[in-house]
Amino acid sequence: MNDFILKPNPEDARLTEAVSGIDHEGNPVETRVVVERPLTLFPNGQEIVTMMTIGDHPEYLGVGYLINQNMLLPDDEITAVEYDDDIETVVVRTKRKTNFEEKLKKKTLTSGCAQGTIFGDLMEKFEDVRLPQDAILKTSWLYALTKKINTVPSLYLTAGAIHGCVLCERDRPLIYMEDVGRHNAIDKIAGYMAMKDVSTAGKTFYTTGRLTSEMVIKTVQMGIPILISRSGFTAWGVELARKAGLTLIGRARGKRFIALSGEDRIVFDADGEAIEDEPKTAARKGAV
């Protein structure tokens, strides 16, 4: 079975540009840097946010943002997703007016900021999510995934300064999205899954970035029971993962990893001694 239904395209000229400078010895150099551009989101014609993004897959980002901010509910029917490149906007239209529009309007009128309402709604949904208890992660799958993901051509390898998230199944990486913010990358995956009707059953998340509370909340509310990163943890991320029963694996490099939550899902079926460890200095050109 082939890997990757969708993966990064570092050859896309819209996503990076060449910038000239000097190196540590004062010699002239030219390097590729990631491009940021604004994307303004309108659910049913109401402007709610302008996001900074690399600009690929704007439709998936718009839909995924609304899902992961609890603005689109499972029974909301999307009737159209319209992207206008000239004015850098994406409009997501639903069959019925979403219940969040009134909440957003009320919060904006009272305080000028809807973040408190958004956070409260996310945590309310977080409390109700029940993750599959029968999900497993074999260490052989983990080692295969990290090797495939870390060696596939990507903006992360080409220019750095970017985050990646990957939807996986067993030892197969399926959907690999990158963006300047890890929240954008995971939102694009959520949007893809919603628009392509991809089930969360048997799925795992991988991220190049830190295992923060935000990443844990988004993963849990999407119903995915396992989250892996090559980076480290935050204390609140670990606390929330344990509360939700999420398997949380960090510092996954070569044969090494650390699990701080949901360890019972891990099946140790691989010989760690046979796995080549990564050098202390990673081969990537840019840190995230």
Distances (CA, A) of 117 to 46, 61, 67, 263: 17, 21, 15, 33
Tell whether the model's pLDDT for residue 288 goes beyond 80: no
Identify the H or E element spanning 257.
strand 256-261
Neighbours of 284 (CB within 10 A): 15
Domain ranges of the chain: 37-127, 137-274
Between helices 213-221 and 115-128, what is the axis angle to 10°? Answer: 60
pLDDT of residue 122: 65
Residues 6+ apart with CB under 8 A from 182: 163, 165, 207, 208, 209, 210, 212, 214, 215
Predicted local distance difference test score (pLDDT) of residue 103: 59
- pLDDT at site 227: 98
CA distances from 261 to 123, 132, 240, 241 (A): 19, 14, 9, 6
**Architecture of the domain whose range is 137-274:** 3-Layer(aba) Sandwich (3.40)
Cα 224 → chain centroid: 12
Matching CATH number, 37-127, of 3.10.129.10, 3.40.1280.10, 3.10.20.10, 3.50.50.60: 3.10.20.10
Where is average pLDDT lowest: 98-107, 216-225, 244-253?
Answer: 98-107
And the tokens for 216? 């844990």
For residue 53, the tally of other CB atoms under 10 A from its CB is 24
| pLDDT tens by residue, 67-91 | 988 888 888 999 999 999 999 999 9
C-alpha span between 131 and 141 (Å, rounded)? 20
CB 175 within 8 A of CB 3: no
Distance CA 84, CA 173 (A): 30
- What do you get for the CA distance between the two ends of the chain, in Å? 31
Task: Report if pTM > 0.85.
Answer: yes
pLDDT tens digits for 22-66?
A: 999 999 999 999 999 999 999 998 888 899 999 999 999 999 999
